Amino acid sequence: MNLRFVLLLVLALAAAVPLSLLAGRVWINPLAAETQSASVILLQLRLPRAVLALVLGAGLGAAGAAMQGYLRNPLADPGLFGIAPGAALGAVLSFWTGYASAPWMLPLFALIGAGGAMTLLALIAGRGGGVALFTLAGLMVSSLAGALMSLAISLTPSPFAMSEIVTWMMGSLADRSWREVWIATPLTLTGLGVLLYAGRDLDAMTLGEMAARTLGVEPLRLQALIILGVGLVVGAGVAVAGIIGFVGLMVPHLVRPLTDRKPSSLIVPSALAGALLLLFADCLCRILPLSGGELRLGIALSLLGAPFFLRLLLKMRRGMVA
């Protein structure tokens, strides 16, 4: 069942990618004779953007599946650990200091921020490896990074930098180039590999922390794998596209009923479905007519995500979620 589902997702992606390349403010007719501008739009604007959507979507979907498996909670989201706010703080600091205008500097700052949040998380959570403490540590890192970010924004030297920060934080794939693809792809793929490697341990966590330990799971090792895997994926995503929420929360949910519900069975389908969702949302952003620019991806996903979240909560209230 799982394999067929994965194949179906791959087919859907294979169909969606070429279609997404045609869609946008300028629609491209694949049957028309090739023009100079069409090939520039395709190769320099839309293709890197589509690849980035696939890479980030896959990373966020898989990270969400792993987080939910690790925390044994269907409401967990990769943003929960404070890695995304950490990366965002790094990015904000690059705007603040003015380094953002230099190439590579913004992503570099964001990655340093993500790394800092991961280190802090590991230090605070300590050597016990318990999940509850870890979650609280994540919340703490998250609120600390959030507060520092607000502080940095409120102290921004120029209104221009402030508007840049605010726009950037909304998350977008607009005007991204191959450079961003080269930054995000290796990090995300490494993160995905780490999360896949943690799959067996996540399966054992289904039976609770104690039973998982008797099944051979070393809590600290699993915690380190989760911090590393989620950190790489989320850090890479924020570094090139700003904060993109809800993918990690929504996708594992949509996918779970179509698998055998084991956390490890969820990672690959969530990655594929996440890629599909982000590709779709990004097309939507490009197509929707909006005066003064295009809809921001982060906003589009939050708009999609909020009703979804509400539906989930209502379902949980009726005791139907698992």
Partner 1 sequence: MSFGAENVTVAGRLDDVSLTCRRGMVTAICGPNGAGKSTLLAVIAGLIKPDAGRAVMGGRSLGAVSLAQRAQWLGYLPQTPEVAWDVSVEVLISLGRLPWRGAPAAETQAAIEDAIAAMDLQDLRHRPVSTLSGGERARALMARVLATQPGWILADEPFASLDLSHGAALMQRFRQQARAGKGVVLVLHDLATAMNHADQVLVLAKGRVEAEGPPEMALSRDVIGRVWNCPAHWLGEPGERALSIGAPAPLAVDLRQQF
Q: List residues near partner 1 by CB under 8 A.
A: 72, 200, 203-208, 210-211, 213-218, 256, 260-263, 322
- Residues 6 or more apart whose Cβ sits within 8 Å of residue 71: 80, 131, 135
Q: How far is the CB of 211 from partner 1 (least distance, A)?
A: 6
Report whether 251 contacts 273 (CB < 8 A).
Answer: yes
Specify the residue, 1 or 31, whose C-beta has the smaller distance to partner 1.
1
Q: How far is the CB of 122 from partner 1 (least distance, A)?
A: 20
Specify the residue, 117 or 204, whose C-beta has the smaller distance to partner 1.
204
Q: How far is the CB of 212 from partner 1 (least distance, A)?
A: 9
Specify the residue, 211 or 313, whose C-beta has the smaller distance to partner 1.
211
Q: How far is the CB of 262 from partner 1 (least distance, A)?
A: 6
Specify the residue, 189 or 254, whose C-beta has the smaller distance to partner 1.
254
User: Around 146, how many Cα atoms within 13 Å sit in the side-chain half-sphere?
Assistant: 11
Q: How far is the CB of 263 from partner 1 (least distance, A)?
A: 7
Report whether 130 contacts 219 (CB < 8 A).
Answer: yes
Q: How far is the CB of 309 from partner 1 (least distance, A)?
A: 19
Specify the residue, 24 or 252, whose C-beta has the smaller distance to partner 1.
252
Specify the residue, 20 or 265, whose C-beta has the smaller distance to partner 1.
265
Q: How far is the CB of 226 from partner 1 (least distance, A)?
A: 15
Specify the residue, 71 or 181, whose C-beta has the smaller distance to partner 1.
71
Specify the residue, 33 or 322, whose C-beta has the smaller distance to partner 1.
322
The angle that helices 105-125 and 178-197 make with each other, rounded to 10 degrees, is 20
Q: How far is the CB of 110 from partner 1 (least distance, A)?
A: 33
